[in-house]
């Protein structure tokens, strides 16, 4: 036991020695913060765009390399998923598809969407199938939402 106590004492002293600055000039000074780079680019859309998600296609043959981005937006009181595509590594996007359903219409809510490309076949869904999912269907009476999953076999067009 005395060896263990000595080791613990030595370890504790080493930790204290490392934590205390070697000079009496005061605490170490942090390096001056560099200014963060300014955001650049072009917004996907001019109106609401919530829950942005992006994927670079890797399992869609001739479409590989395209960047798809999705956002939740609104058409009047209806929640809509907007799918945007870039063929120039994200320099510019254009809307190519929309996801809408009765569970997100008439103000029932559309929330927390995401976009995913299947890397391999899953059941009957081929590799490259796009999945867009969201929580939808909240009503004031019931207050319940359900997860909805939409599938696209044509790079987000439908």
pLDDT per position as a tens digit, 21-64: 444 555 666 666 777 777 677 778 888 888 899 999 999 999 99
Q: What is the pLDDT of residues 59-95, one digit of tens each?
A: 999 999 999 999 988 888 778 889 999 999 988 999 9
Q: Tell me if the pTM is above 0.85.
A: no
CA-nearest of 158, 135, 127, 143 to 59 is 127
Residues 103, 109: contact at Cβ < 8 Å? no
State how far Cα 131 lies from the chain centre. 14
């Amino acid at each position: 036991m005395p060896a263990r106590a000595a080791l613990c004492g030595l370890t504790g002293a080493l930790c204290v020695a490392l934590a205390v600055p070697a000079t009496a000039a005061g605490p170490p000074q942090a390096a001056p913060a560099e200014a963060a780079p300014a955001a650049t680019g072009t917004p996907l859309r001019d109106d609401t765009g919530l829950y942005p998600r992006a994927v670079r296609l890797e399992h869609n043959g001739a479409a590989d390399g395209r960047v798809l981005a999705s956002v939740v937006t609104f058409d009047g009181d209806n929640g809509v998923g907007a799918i945007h595509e870039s063929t120039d590594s994200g320099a510019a996007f254009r809307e190519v598809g929309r996801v809408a359903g009765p569970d997100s219409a008439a103000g029932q809510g559309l929330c927390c969407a995401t976009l995913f490309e299947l890397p391999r076949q899953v059941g009957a869904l081929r590799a490259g199938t796009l999945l867009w999912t969201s929580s939808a269907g909240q009503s004031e009476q019931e207050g319940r939402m359900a997860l909805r999953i939409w599938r696209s076999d044509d790079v987000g067009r439908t």
